[in-house]
Structure 1
Amino acid sequence: MKTRNLLMACACALFTLAGQAQTQVIAHRGFWKAEGSAQNSIAGLKKAAEAKVYGSEFDVQLTADGVVVVNHDDAIDGLVIGETAYDKLKDLKLKNGEKLPTLADYLEAGKKLPDVQLILEIKPHKTKAQEDQIAETTVKMVKEYGLEKQVEYISFSMNICEQLARLTPKSEIAYLKSDIAPKDVKAKGANGIDYHYKAFEKHPEWVKEAHELGMKVNVWTVNNEKDMKKMIDLNVDYITTDQPLEAAALVAGK
């Protein structure tokens, strides 16, 4: 019995190590380079799911009247999202002809694609009150759709990460700003780092430190094959890229 237990423990350890070594791919703003797609579009989300990558990243902003919309920049067609009511934004079009999606639109589409993780980036806002509001509204919506396990959160704002840790402590929450060591991020309540690849070139030890703290490690936005290989060799958990098919091929051929 002792021998059997020892063998099982060794097998579990090997499985864990293998899992850590297997870098996975996240499509940056969806698979937007695919035909008929656009950045942060629902088509991009669907194309990412078709590509069978781990996740599809997207960005959210808060309108002046409290609607969460999916857009990277804080303005669209010359209108500042945070200063504009949703009614004035709702008919604006993305480059592929889609209407500007709301978070509700995105979550509804994502729920039909359970094999792709929804990597939800909450953008920094001008005031703490706005950040607190979008964090609370977003988490509430994710829970209403029953997507707590499918949605993972990222943000450049430490305040937003702290609010997320308070509102949804069991979720995956990663800090994006690339400026502090993993232990300092964990002390704030986040359980992952999602840093620019240049940060890991300067501090390669942060990957191991994060793993030793039980944290996940993502790297953005890696589009060059040479840089992808460096990050795969560092054993990062995820690579966020505008080239998801190329990154997936590299991972498969490791």
Structure 2
Amino acid sequence: MRKAGQPYPFDELQRPLIMAHRGDPVHAPENTLPAFESAILRGADALEADVHWTRDGVIVVIHDEVVDRVSDGHGRVRDMSWSELRRLDFGYRFTLDGRTFPYRGRGIRMLTLRELLTRFPEARFNIDIKPKDPPSLAQFVREVVECRAERRVFAASFHHKVLNRLRRIYPQLATGASPCEAMAALARLHAGVGLGRVKYKALQVPPRVRGIPWLTERWLERAHRAGLAVHVWTVNDPADMERLFDLGVDGIVTDDPGQGVAVRARWAARQPREGGRTKWIS
């Protein structure tokens, strides 16, 4: 589907991909080592994670710009040093029932990007760069390369300027479309107009707009003809997963990767086989 010679970390993996959103936040504190370990154990194909920079320039794995929701601390990541963040309990607020906190006091600490990439040397990653103006994208690239992960990392961001700068610094790194690039692609593909040459490898889109499912089989076919993968976020309902698999998406991002793997297995068992294997395996 993609042009020869273009790096894409998810080649050779079965599709549709199950991409673990912040690890496995249904069963463990999001963006922590237990969450990523759980996602791998439950069969996720790729790990989705988010990064910010500390005050002293360490790239750390966290979704929010503040630590309040996921730890026993308070404040913005960019205002705190790495040593300050390491003292916080990132299992403190995780609960399954609203009453008990099974990871509280168990030494769950924040991860650095380096720790994440080296802890899972075979894993594929979708790394979402969260800041609008990161202190150093060159540092991000350097750490990815030094961890020998440049062919295992797919970079994403909601900020167009961030992705453009990243592409200029290291064009070999695969990136997703920014929101403005995605919107332009959506309109052109719906109109049946070609995209021409683009700088991204995948469109990562929500399954609904204003509550209405908008993805169609024809639109997906056009995206695929343009050489693009389509990943859909964040999908947690089994019926939605199956509907998207039927349409032909290349992957879903989910909070419950174990459920996603199970739904995909049931769905795949019903698919026709071509050449001795199910047609959705790449």
Counterpart position of 1:43? 34
Corresponding position: 1:195 with 2:189: no
Counterpart position of 1:80? 76
For residues 96-124 of structure 1, what are the alpha-carbon distances to aligned partners after superposition, in whole Å with 9 as ceiling and x for unaligned?
3311111122122122xx1x312211113
For residues 200-236 of structure 1, what are the alpha-carbon distances to aligned partners after superposition, in whole Å with 9 as ceiling and x for unaligned?
9325354333211111111100001121122112211
Change (3 A) 1:110 1:163: farther
Q: Distance in 2 between matches of 1:165 and 1:156?
A: 14
Q: In angstroms, what is the RMSD of aligned CA positions?
A: 2.5
- Percent identity reads 26
Question: Does the Cα contact within 8 Å between 1:21 and 1:236 map onto a contact in 2?
Answer: no
Question: Does the Cα contact within 8 Å between 2:43 and 2:261 map onto a contact in 1?
Answer: no
Change (3 A) 1:186 1:194: farther
TM-score by length of 1: 0.79
1:142 is matched with which residue: 131, 141, 144?
Answer: 144
Post-superposition offset of 1:173: 1.1
Counterpart position of 1:107? 117
Post-superposition offset of 1:52: 2.1
For the residue of structure 1 that corresponds to 2:86, the secondary structure is: coil
Corresponding position: 1:154 with 2:156: yes
Post-superposition offset of 1:179: 3.5
**Count of matched residue pairs:** 226
Moved over 6 A (4+): 183-186
Counterpart position of 1:166? 168
Match for 1:49: what amino acid?
I
Counterpart position of 1:226? 239
More displaced stretch, 174-183 vs 65-74: 174-183
TM-score by length of 2: 0.72
Counterpart position of 1:15? none
1:94 is matched with which residue: 79, 90, 107?
Answer: 90
Match for 1:175: what amino acid?
A
For residues 139-158 of structure 1, what are the alpha-carbon distances to aligned partners after superposition, in whole Å with 9 as ceiling and x for unaligned?
11010011111211121111
Post-superposition offset of 1:85: 2.7
Q: Unaligned 5+ residue runs, structure 2?
A: 1-11, 68-72, 92-102, 190-194, 268-282
Match for 2:207: what amino acid?
Y
Q: Distance in 2 between matches of 1:217 and 1:176?
A: 13
For the residue of structure 1 that corresponds to 2:165, the secondary structure is: helix
Question: Does the Cα contact within 8 Å between 1:218 and 1:237 map onto a contact in 2?
Answer: yes
